[in-house]
């Protein structure tokens, strides 16, 4: 089958914007899902809405910038290709899975290029135009009109795609064997920081190249890396060495507070009603309770438990269990 296309200057003006928004629509939903996944995994141990929102938008912006860069790169490659922006008349013949392009440039130069159907990387339909992008980045765009030819072209292209996928399934394509070499990258997921970076990169590449193997490697590395980070954090928080260290810090803070409270009484003649009152004499007052997970005052969290009594006051930390009035509550030494 043989068809002719006439390309107008107005068609060239629209093509790059059309391609840009096509690629953007193609990836934006995937980027949102990836950003949500990473944000949830980062905050799953201790959810905080501010951290979640910042992580989500930070990841979203990062991937958008990365994708915009790739989109611009692809469009620039197409723009720089001489076969795209200098064709005014184009004749295409399709025979025995071979495409023969005979075209006339704006300088009235005639040329001929041949491609096999399986050389096509992608066929993009946008509005009234059809884009044929080959694996060597040579590109042609056509103004739709020859419906029978365009349908035949897309049908032949689909057949080649199915044949290629089937050859991968039965192992006749050498790339399927070579792809197995990438699975060692899963081991990087055992290194939390490195695994997270590699995972994000390969997860993105999986969608960008439509490569299932890269998606699996990326997702696995992200999940393993964040899981290990959480485990390390939990183990570190619960370790005896860490708890003993925090006990010493809490005790020092309590002892410092006792001196500040007594100085307040010396100046005011009575003990303060709340720890915050002591700050009039010590603006650098440290009433941080590392074990406190509750909120004893509306404007303070987390703070030591303080209560003014008839005879004096009660000052203590909730202790490692985070529960007030239990055996592990920590009191000042004096």
**CATH number of the domain encompassing residue 10:** 2.30.29.30
Is the CB of residue 291 less than 8 Å from the CB of residue 304?
A: no
Residue 176 has pLDDT above 60, yes or no: no
Q: Is residue 327 part of a domain?
A: no
Do 164 and 209 have their domain in common?
no
Query: Residue 315: beta bridge partners?
Result: 306
Residue 84 has pLDDT above 50, yes or no: no
Residue 283 has pLDDT above 90, yes or no: no
Do 262 and 230 have their domain in common?
no
Do 167 and 214 have their domain in common?
no
Residue 163 has pLDDT above 60, yes or no: no
Q: Last residue of a domain, which of 143, 172, 201?
A: 172
Q: What is the mean pLDDT of residues 76-82?
A: 55
Do 83 and 187 have their domain in common?
no
Q: Is residue 330 part of a domain?
A: no
Q: Last residue of a domain, which of 126, 149, 172?
A: 172
Do 230 and 246 have their domain in common?
no
Do 144 and 6 have their domain in common?
yes
Q: What is the pLDDT of residue 298?
A: 47
Report d(CA 334, CA 326) in Å as an integer.
Answer: 20
- Interaxial angle between packed helices 192-208 and 9-43, expressed in degrees from 0 to 180 and rounded to the nearest 10: 150
What is the helix (H) or strand (E) element at residue 5, kind and residue range?
A: strand 2-6
Do 166 and 247 have their domain in common?
no
The whole model's pTM is what?
0.34
Report d(CA 308, CA 101) in Å as an integer.
Answer: 91
Do 186 and 299 have their domain in common?
no
- Provide the domain limits for residue 221: 181-236
Count the domains in the chain: 3
Residue 173 has pLDDT above 60, yes or no: no
Mean pLDDT is highest, among 118-122, 126-130, 158-162, 281-285, for 281-285
Q: What is the mean pLDDT of residues 60-66?
A: 74
DSSP for residue 94: E
Q: Is residue 329 part of a domain?
A: no
Q: What is the pLDDT of residue 75?
A: 57
Report d(CA 291, CA 322) in Å as an integer.
Answer: 5
Higher confidence at residue 171 or residue 75? Answer: 75
Is the CB of residue 92 less than 8 Å from the CB of residue 100?
A: yes
**pLDDT tens-place string over residues 219-236:** 788 788 777 777 776 666
3-state secondary structure of 90: strand
Higher confidence at residue 183 or residue 119? Answer: 119
Residue 316 has pLDDT above 80, yes or no: yes
Do 14 and 96 have their domain in common?
yes
Q: Is residue 331 part of a domain?
A: no
Residue 271 has pLDDT above 70, yes or no: yes
Mean pLDDT is highest, among 37-46, 294-303, 310-319, for 310-319
Spatial CA neighbour of 121 closest among 146, 70, 157 = 157
Q: Last residue of a domain, which of 194, 216, 236?
A: 236
Do 209 and 63 have their domain in common?
no
Residue 245 has pLDDT above 60, yes or no: yes
The model's confidence at residue 106, banded by pLDDT at 50, 70 and 90, is low
24-33, 246-255, 257-266: segment of lowest average pLDDT: 24-33
Do 213 and 154 have their domain in common?
no
Q: Is residue 287 part of a domain?
A: yes
The model's confidence at residue 71, banded by pLDDT at 50, 70 and 90, is low
Q: What is the mean pLDDT of residues 251-270?
A: 92
Mean pLDDT is highest, among 64-73, 78-87, 107-116, 138-147, for 107-116
Residue 2 has pLDDT above 80, yes or no: no
Q: What is the pLDDT of residue 73?
A: 62
Q: Is residue 114 part of a domain?
A: yes
Do 58 and 165 have their domain in common?
yes
**pLDDT tens-place string over residues 182-199:** 666 667 667 766 777 777
Higher confidence at residue 330 or residue 150? Answer: 330
Q: Is residue 17 part of a domain?
A: yes
Is the CB of residue 293 less than 8 Å from the CB of residue 322?
A: yes
Report d(CA 27, CA 54) in Å as an integer.
Answer: 21
Residue 266 has pLDDT above 90, yes or no: yes
């Amino acid at each position: 089958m043989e068809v002719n296309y006439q390309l107008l200057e107005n068609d060239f003006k629209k093509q790059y914007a059309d391609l840009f928004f096509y690629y953007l629509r193609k990836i934006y939903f995937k980027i949102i899902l990836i950003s949500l996944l990473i944000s949830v995994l980062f905050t799953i141990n201790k959810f905080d809405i501010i951290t979640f929102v910042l992580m989500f938008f930070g990841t979203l912006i990062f991937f958008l910038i990365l994708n915009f860069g790739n989109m611009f790169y692809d469009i620039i490659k197409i723009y720089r290709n001489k076969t795209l922006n200098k064709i005014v008349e184009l004749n295409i013949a399709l025979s025995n899975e071979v495409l023969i392009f005979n075209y006339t440039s704006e300088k009235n130069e005639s040329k001929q290029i041949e491609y096999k159907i399986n050389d096509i990387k992608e066929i993009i339909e946008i509005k009234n135009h059809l884009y044929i992008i080959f694996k060597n980045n040579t590109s042609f765009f056509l103004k739709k009109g020859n419906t029978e030819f365009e349908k035949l072209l897309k049908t032949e292209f689909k057949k080649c795609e199915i044949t290629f996928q089937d050859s991968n399934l039965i192992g006749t394509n050498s790339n399927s064997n070579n792809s197995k070499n990438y699975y060692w990258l899963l081991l990087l997921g055992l290194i939390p920081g490195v695994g997270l970076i590699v995972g994000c990169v390969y997860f993105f590449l999986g969608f960008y190249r439509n490569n299932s193997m890269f998606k699996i490697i990326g997702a696995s590395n992200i999940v393993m890396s964040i899981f290990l980070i959480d485990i390390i954090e939990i183990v570190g928080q619960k370790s005896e060495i860490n708890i003993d260290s925090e006990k010493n810090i809490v005790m020092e803070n309590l002892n410092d507070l006792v001196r500040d409270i007594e100085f307040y009484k010396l100046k005011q003649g009575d003990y303060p009603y709340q720890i915050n009152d002591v700050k009039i004499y010590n603006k650098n007052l440290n009433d941080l309770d590392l074990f406190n997970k509750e909120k004893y005052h509306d404007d303070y969290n987390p703070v030591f438990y303080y209560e003014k009594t008839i005879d004096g006051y009660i000052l203590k930390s909730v202790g490692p269990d985070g529960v007030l009035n239990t055996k592990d509550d920590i009191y000042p030494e004096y």
